[in-house]
Amino acid sequence: MKSLPLVLLFFSLFLDLSCDKAKTDSKLNFIIVFVDDMGYGDLGVYGHPTIKTPILDQMATEGQKWTQFYSAASVCTPSRAALLTGRLPIRNGLMGSQVRVFFPDSQYGIPTSEITIAEKLKENGYKTAAIGKWHLGHKKQYLPLQHGFDYYYGIPYSNDMENINGGAIPVKDHYWKIYDSEKPVSDNYKVPLLENNEIIERPADQTTITKRYTDKAVDFIRKNKDENFFIYLAHNLPHTPLYASDEYRGRSKRGLYGDVVEEIDHGVGLIMEELKKNSLEKNTIVVFTSDNGPWLPFEQHSGSAGLLRNGKGTSWEGGHRVPGIFWGGPIKKGMVDELGSTLDIFPTILEMLGVENIKDRIMDGVSLKNTLYHGKPSKREKIFYYRSREIYAVRYKQYKAHYITQGVYNYPPGSNKKIILKEPLLYNLDVDPSERYNIADENPDILRRIKTIVDEHKGNLDPPDDLLQYRESD
């Protein structure tokens, strides 16, 4: 009987430790930094020789650098829908057959039936902010405040839209004219800057936009340091046209593109400083990635996919494979060459919090928690490369089969022809990430396995209407 108090003491300590762990897990904050058109090879830690990104390099060293991390689409609108919903955008009408992204005259936006990360976290007591580029519909019913976010500050679509010369994408000569001037001004584009649901500036001063997005993120952390918070920081840059502040313009050996990336890196550093100042680094997860690969037609004003083939808009690796850095909390340090996708961020966050995943619809993401926390193999085995509502390619483990190939933006000239292959191309991406050596003839069993995956996927696919095709004038 005398030993009972000691037993109770140990039991009490065990409960306290268990509760502390549960409290730590439930108090995780999340920040996703989602940049626009940054290539796989544009950061120092991913091999760029002249762009200096010391903050992101340090994050990759202290956390995890993923070398096989994918955006779920190779252009803006569907890639954002995929990240925020954990679902392939073909499932919610945001993968377009002809029009591939929303424009200022688009009629629709993200369906209200979709559940976003922000909505799920808000249900669980989180304060939520979307800062930066939205591109999921510019009308009020489609803006962030109507989809789970408590606060919004940003440009509702791409920074090259509504240019003063007409059309959505300026001709190359217009870009060069802007960049040749001593100090580019951003009133060549009439894009609005919104706070919550209201326009507060038009045209937005894009020369200061990176700094202002960073300041808003820091301010949100400061105001909500005693709460659970989620910040979705989606920079409009380094999408062209490129703009850097006076402080950063002319600093990088890489030119204006390097200036822009280095200013984004500096902004991430200010966010990290704020986390550390408030002792939040041990219970905040920060994710850094890109919406797709580099916009190659703009040449020195675009990024680099490094050793990967092609870039934005295509189903080659350079269009989909992007930097993926995870930092903070209990993340295990290391370089990860497992498969991961932006689709996986949503279910990963839910599992980290012990919140049940969504059950009333097909979710395409898988949780990466065990890889992030314990270094275990990723559960992801498949990547679907959609374009124009068709499957152009599929990756299974290390193998990638192409069924359709097509260039984009007529770069180089004459490359836009769509080729439906009579026989698929097959690459081993562990051996050949540049997709140069077709090994289809030697691996018929692999091609049969991938064909089965495609058939199974199509069997549970009932895609809704293409929402991107409808314009306000229709």
Residues 6+ apart with CB under 8 A from 1: none
The architecture (CATH level 2) of 385-469 comes to: 2-Layer Sandwich (3.30)
Q: Where are the domains of the chain?
A: 27-380, 385-469
Q: pLDDT digits over 165-177, tens only?
A: 665 444 455 555 5
Residue 10, pLDDT above cutoff 90: no
pLDDT value at residue 474: 60
What does the alpha-carbon distance between residue 30 and residue 32 come to, in Å, rounded to a whole number? Answer: 7
Average pLDDT, the chain: 92
AA identity, residue 388: S
Residue 107, pLDDT above cutoff 70: yes
What does the alpha-carbon distance between residue 313 and residue 438 come to, in Å, rounded to a whole number? Answer: 22
Residue 419 CA: distances (Å) to CA of 2, 180, 314 = 82, 38, 13
Q: Is the peptide bond before 111 cis (omega within 30 degrees of 0)?
A: no
DSSP string, 337-380: EEEEEGGGHHHHHHHHHTPPPP-SS-------HHHHHH-PPPS-
Helix (H, G, I), strand (E, B) or coil at 258: helix
Q: What is the value of pTM for the model shown?
A: 0.93
What does the alpha-carbon distance between residue 140 and residue 147 come to, in Å, rounded to a whole number? Answer: 11
pLDDT band (50, 70, 90) for residue 16 = very low
Q: Are the C-beta atoms of residues 65 and 156 closer than 8 Å to each other?
A: no
pLDDT value at residue 365: 98
Residue 154, pLDDT above cutoff 90: yes
Residue 285: both structure tokens together: 């997860």
pLDDT value at residue 188: 79
- Active-site residues, by number, are 76, 135
> How is domain 27-380 classified at the CATH fold level?
Alkaline Phosphatase, subunit A (3.40.720)
Q: Are the C-beta atoms of residues 61 and 318 closer than 8 Å to each other?
A: no
Tell me whether the CATH fold assigned to 27-380 matches the one assigned to 385-469: no
